[in-house]
Amino acid sequence: MKIDELFALLKRRGILWPSAEIYGGAQGLYDYGPLGTALKRRLEDAWAAWFVGLSHDYYQIQPSELLPEAVVRASGHLENFTDPEIVCESCHAAFRAETVVEKVRPEGVDGLGVEQIREIVRANQLRCPNCGSKELTVPEPFHLMFGVDFGVTGKERAYLAPETAQGSYLAFARMWDVGRHALPLGIGVVGKAYRNEIAPRQVLFRMRAFTQAELQIFFDPSDFRVPFERVADEAVPVLRVDQRTAGEERPVLVTARDLVGSGGLPEFYVYHMVHQYRFLRDVLGYPADRIRYFEKSDQERAFYNRIQFDAELRLDSLGGYKEIGAVHYRGDYDLSRHRDGSGKDLAVTPTGRASLVPHVLELTFGVDRNLWALADVHLGADGDRTVWKLPSYLAPTAVGVFPLIPKAHAEFARTLADTLAAEGIPVQFDDTGTIGKRYARSDEAGIPFCVTVDGGTVGDGPEHDTVTLRVRDTRAQERIPSAALAARIGPALRLPRPRRD
């Protein structure tokens, strides 16, 4: 499905739409409707259950989204959080540099300076995507943070958080006291981040206000033991820097054991990479042949990273691989910078070990991007119907309850819907249109189960108090007692959780 077609369908179903739509919309800003809000919460809960659930010493917090200037100065964002842009002198449109050069340089422009980008534009005679002009210039990089006046006088400066990670670093000292004084210590955050994008595009993939889920794992680099043998034989699709240098674009399946042995990666890094891969493949249901881990070179990776693999998914609506998450080894960059900036000693002394400034392993996940990916991968034609084959535990609505004949069966159906809701099952009552149209609407909305109340349900015959349960993906139907519904569908609605360390 093309991007415009998919977006139109999501708007029609009440998943999302442009913010301030009655004023023509606001570029890079989107609102979530009822189904979108519910799906987004399910996705966030699934992420937290899986990643925070990796260890008894991993916790979730909710930090402030407003950062004093001293924080972003110490973190390096005030200096380094920029994006190269290209400006058309003819129509005066501005674009992210990678948008203009992506056809001749698919790997992007990470690590390239202004002069290098200018040379690419000149040598390839690139044109403006808006008007077709060759009059393109490459100014100095554009700063992406939103600054705001802070305090009554307006003389202080603050910034909307450009990433959720900083909240974890600022909370580390407090969390050390709250926790067991033990490493590794994980701090997870699901929250808003804000970036003044040069040219927001591709709907949820380049936004100015978006939701991130990130787990920061603080550890002793000399003693970060993980149960590596549990994952050692699992293969991960990777595209290494040396493969790209040789002209390869397709990932190669490499076992975790080989990524550590001949691949030179630390066990703790690969262990968490495998768990992220399992989440994408097994929990979100992305086909394995669509996923790859794209290694960033020394020049390409973010200024704070020592090792960086981006988790990418091939999306039909966006025409190729797009980043949906990542695994970053950030070393001791973050706590060292905040130690120097705040003057507070952030070294810790785990029981029986020497004092140290912990290193950080970061697992990132774009919530909005993955919501779009769930639609790209799972929503489409299935024979004569449009169906969204979401995993049942992610579905915004778990059960649709339909009275076959509204006047005769609505009372029982409403009571049944209320009973299921009281059991904590997201339910929707629908008595509008034919039963076939109601099934079609529920399929399109991703509802995994539908229940039909009919004459047998409310009659005195052998089918008394039984209903028809329909399964979305197979359209299979079975007759079961209404009192058995919660027990029948409950297991399919439980969020998957990893095996703890």
Q: pLDDT averaged over consecutive 10-residue blocks of the chain (501 residues)?
A: 95 96 95 97 98 96 96 90 90 89 83 88 92 90 91 87 96 94 96 93 95 98 95 98 92 98 98 98 98 94 92 97 97 96 95 92 98 98 95 98 97 97 96 96 97 95 94 97 96 91 54
Question: CB–CB of 54/500 below 8 Å?
Answer: yes
Question: CB–CB of 70/341 below 8 Å?
Answer: yes
Residue type, position 263, single letter: G
Number of residues assigned to the chain: 501
Tell me if residue 361 falls in helix, strand or coil: strand
Q: What does the alpha-carbon distance between residue 471 and residue 40 come to, in Å, rounded to a whole number?
A: 23
Helices (H), 353-466: 367-378, 406-422, 435-444, 455-458
Q: Give the CA-trace dihedral at 158, 163, 169, 170, to 10 degrees.
A: 20
Of the chain, the end-to-end C-alpha distance in Å amounts to 41
- Residue 349: closest CA among 221, 187, 176: 176
Question: CB–CB of 168/61 below 8 Å?
Answer: yes
- Angle formed by the axes of helices 34-51 and 267-278, nearest 10°: 150
Q: What does the alpha-carbon distance between residue 182 and residue 205 come to, in Å, rounded to a whole number?
A: 37
Q: 501 to each of 44, 225, 227, 266, how far by Cα in Å?
A: 22, 10, 7, 17
Who contacts 202 (Cβ-Cβ below 8 Å, separation ≥6)? 3, 318, 322
The class of domain 388-493 in CATH terms is: alpha beta
Which residue spans within 102-223 are E strands per DSSP? 136-137, 142-143, 147-150, 156-160, 185-194, 209-219
- Has domain 3-68+155-224+292-378 been given CATH number 3.30.930.10? yes
Q: Report the side by side order of strands in the sheet with 147-150.
A: 66-68, 156-160, 147-150
User: Tokens standing for 52?
Assistant: 């925070």
Q: What does the alpha-carbon distance between residue 131 and residue 127 come to, in Å, rounded to a whole number?
A: 8
Q: What does the alpha-carbon distance between residue 42 and residue 425 come to, in Å, rounded to a whole number?
A: 13
Question: CB–CB of 95/140 below 8 Å?
Answer: no
Who contacts 81 (Cβ-Cβ below 8 Å, separation ≥6)? 72, 143, 144, 145, 162
Give a three-class secondary structure readout of 58-83: EEEECCCCEEEHHHHHHHCHHHHCEE
Q: What is the pLDDT of residue 96?
A: 87
Who contacts 4 (Cβ-Cβ below 8 Å, separation ≥6)? none
Q: What are the backbone angles phi and psi of residue 335, rounded to the nearest 5°?
A: -70, -30
Q: What is the pLDDT of residue 219?
A: 97
User: Tokens standing for 111?
Assistant: 């690590």
Q: What is the pLDDT of residue 501?
A: 54
- Residue 420: closest CA among 472, 455, 474, 467: 467
The full set of domain ranges for the chain reads 3-68+155-224+292-378, 82-143, 388-493
Q: Give the CA-trace dihedral at 202, 204, 205, 208, to 10 degrees.
A: 100
Q: What does the alpha-carbon distance between residue 398 and residue 492 come to, in Å, rounded to a whole number?
A: 9
Q: What does the alpha-carbon distance between residue 352 and residue 498 come to, in Å, rounded to a whole number?
A: 29
Burial string for 261-280 (b: 16+ CB within 10 Å, else e) reads eeeebbbbbbbbbbbbbbbb
Q: What is the pLDDT of residue 156?
A: 86
Query: What's CA 448's distance to the chain center, in Å?
Result: 22
Query: What's CA 158's distance to the chain center, in Å?
Result: 26
Question: CB–CB of 369/375 below 8 Å?
Answer: no
- Exposure of 501 by Cβ count < 10 A (0-12 exposed, 13-18 middle, 19+ buried)? middle
- Residue 334: closest CA among 326, 323, 342: 342
The CA-based angle 398-404-407, given to 5 degrees, is 115
Who contacts 140 (Cβ-Cβ below 8 Å, separation ≥6)? 114
Pick the CATH number of 82-143 from 2.20.28, 2.30.30, 1.10.10, 2.60.40: 2.20.28
H or E stretch at 382: strand 379-382
- Residue 101: closest CA among 86, 83, 82, 81: 86
Fold agreement between 3-68+155-224+292-378 and 388-493: no
β-strand 82-83 against 235-239: which pairing, if any? unpaired
